[in-house]
Structure 1
């Protein structure tokens, strides 16, 4: 798959697989497949489609499907980029949520110290739902034009020391109900009307990861009257061990409405 979709030689692929020692490639190696210096050399010429796949694979691995290593990329993602005409047809947002939800579940285990997923999205949720001073509002932000997370200016800290982390945890522990925005989507959308797709209820999926999505249980966040929701989807199997590797939840894929 690497040979065909990234347009690399057998020697290049074997060398990278031997270095990575698994079904991953290094981000630095992947970047060299599409960065200007590489593609400008005649000896490194590759079809435009291969260069585009390398770039998209790098982008996805740095954002919505980031793993814990921070330096490697799963080549399983390449399957999603085989036909570039189909890339715009995928529900990337739903897949990103499924991936993040699964890793949020494993991150609740005491012995787990790292988390994977689209943490920029998670950070944006924190800024948007909690009245805390973790970030400065961006006065130049244009709603519905820029990504929501651009509404804040984050302090650039290269290292998060123990004292700072402890301070944030204590702030969260002391959080009062009045400091939480319970209905963040009341005035969201065009003329305050949320798109009907937002009220989907069922399961969302990324690869073999399936997670329940029960928006009908949080209708008050949209300013609606909360009715008695349907029962939760139950997993087919569930195991919660002492480490992330022992955390396993399997749902059957369901699409209700």
Structure 2
């Protein structure tokens, strides 16, 4: 996977930064991802997960029901920020002027993408293979040979902006065959605002798009450790990861890829058998509010509240959003011919994100209520049907029908799920109110700081 090389190059730049630049990356919540040890790729696990991906539901369809990576998973595994503003702004048909203005680099006129080599050389990166007997630290030190800005100032801002373009375009949001993207440049114009965006949500949207790519594509680009560690964490019986460093955070630092010397085809067969016969109690399907994930021209649903067969709830018809219905943008960056304001085009989805999924929580509660009502009606119908034979069953010492018993259990579980959603909705309302109070305090504090700076100047 191409990200293995990109990871080394990006990490070499980060390590070459002076302490104050690393602190700025930490404030943006990007620092923890560089503490993750470089992990071996597990192509068999990646292909097995791809085969289980349900593109329509944006979730893994396993024999026990749907499972899906959540925002909590992104935060715990990678350390990326999952709360804050949606990663949404303008996209442009041409980034030449913006790239030249913000990066001070020549831009090829035949493309709206920044040449990768020029960007790397501006950061002092020179690709080269690892020498025999060379340690990882020596290799990283040799990659970054030129000194970067050693104190805050315009040159330091330029270095950081170039680094973020490399990090976002070549590692975190990398796609197959693309040079370094400039699509995130509008968000990097004000470096002080970068840390306020929910990059983890954009990262998850990008993961979903990568999984929904052509079925002929077996590998994945981008930050591959996320899905590997997600499987190690939630599907431990597959035995693909070795827990070698318990207690480390982000938790991606805890695992190493299990070495498997068998042929890839044999590994895939064994993995599929393990998934098909996975222990029932080990699976942990997710429930919660549904929100929209934003990454500029990617706006994708995170459907967390999916009915689970593993819980015994009846599988109802689930209507998933489609691209045309919600005017969802395409995932292609090239070929955009108009300046697009995604805050306007995806206004409904962004408002949903700002409400922390509160609107979807209401919809989930209403859906649970409808399902509970349907199950109760079905239970009453079964009871009525069996009333005629009740006396004979009782005289013979019989018990209620198996169907009635199952429906009774399903009703109880549906009622419990409904109560959980009602509690979750109240918690979301309180959390939203608290978040608004904190945001008001932050805005007031920023205003006081700016006033103090103006008076001092």
Counterpart for residue 47 of structure 1 = 155
Contact 2:170 2:222 in 1 (8 A): no
Aligned to 2:212: 105
TM-score by length of 2: 0.40
In structure 2, C-alpha distance between the alignment counterparts of 1:27 and 1:85, rounded to whole Å: 25
- Which residue, out of 117, 132, 136, partners 2:242? 136
Q: Larger Rg: 1 or 2?
A: 2
Quote the Cα distance in structure 1 between the aligned partners of 2:195 and 2:270.
Answer: 41
**Higher RCO, 1 vs 2 (CA within 8 Å, ≥6 residues apart):** 2
Q: CA deviation at 1:62?
A: 3.7
**Contact 2:241–2:256 (CA<8 Å) still a contact in 1?**
yes
Correspondence list, 1:233-248, <5 A: 233-237=320-324
- Summarize deviations over 1:29-66 as a string: whole Å, max 9, x none: 3222223544559xxx9621111011112122343202
User: Mind listing any 5+ residue stretches in structure 2 that lack a counterpart?
Assistant: 1-97, 125-143, 326-330, 333-344, 359-457
Give the structure 2 partner of residue 177 of structure 1.
278
Partner of 1:165: 264
CA-to-aligned-CA distance 1:49-85 (integer Å, 9 cap, x gap): 111011112122343202113x721111222211111
C-alpha distance in 1 between matches for 2:313 and 2:191: 42
Give how far 1:164 is off.
2.9
Separation in 2 of the partners of 1:230 and 1:49?
Answer: 51
Deviation at 1:172, TM superposition (A): 1.9
1:148 to 221, 231, 251: 251
Structure 2 Cα separation of the partners of residues 48 and 169 of structure 1:
47
Corresponding residue number in structure 2 for 1:190: none
- What does the per-residue CA deviation read over 1:174-219, in whole Å, with 9 as the maximum and x for residues that have no partner? 011218831288xxxxxxxxxxxx9442211111111111212278
**Deviations along 1:145-181, whole A, 9 cap, x unmatched?**
5112112112589xxx9x6321221122101121883
Identify the match of residue 121 of structure 1 among 213, 218, 226.
226
Match of residue 78 from structure 1: 185
Cα pair 1:65 1:117 within 8 Å, conserved: yes
CA distance in 2, matches of 1:89, 1:229: 38
1:56 aligns with 2:164: yes
- How far the C-alpha of 1:26 sits from its partner, in A, is 3.8
Give the number of the structure whose residues are more often helix, by fraction.
2
Taking the aligned partners of 1:81 and 1:126, their CA distance within structure 2 comes to 33
CA distance in 1 between counterparts of 2:319 and 2:113 reads 35
Is the contact made by 1:136 and 1:154 (CA closer than 8 Å) also made in structure 2? Answer: yes
Q: How many residues align?
A: 212
Match of 1:237, SS state, is coil
Separation (CA, whole Å) in 2 of partners of 1:113 and 1:53: 33
- Change in CA separation of 1:230 and 1:202 when aligned onto 2, cut-off 3 Å: farther
> Could you tell me how far apart the structure 2 residues matched to 1:227 and 1:85 are?
49
Q: Quick one: structure 1 residues 226 and 120, their matched pair in 2 at CA, closer, same or farther if it must change by over 3 Å? A: farther
- The answer to which structure has the higher strand fraction is 1
Partner of residue 7, structure 2: none
TM-score by length of 1: 0.67
The two structures, once aligned, show a CA RMSD in angstroms of 3.7
Query: Are 2:311 and 1:212 equivalent residues in the alignment?
Result: no
Q: Judge conservation of contact 2:169–2:182 (CA < 8 Å) in 1.
A: no
Distance 1:82 1:34, change over 3 A: same
CA distance in 1, matches of 2:192, 2:312: 41
Question: Given that residues 292 and 301 in structure 2 are in contact (C-alpha distance below 8 angstroms), is that contact kept between their aligned partners in structure 1?
Answer: yes
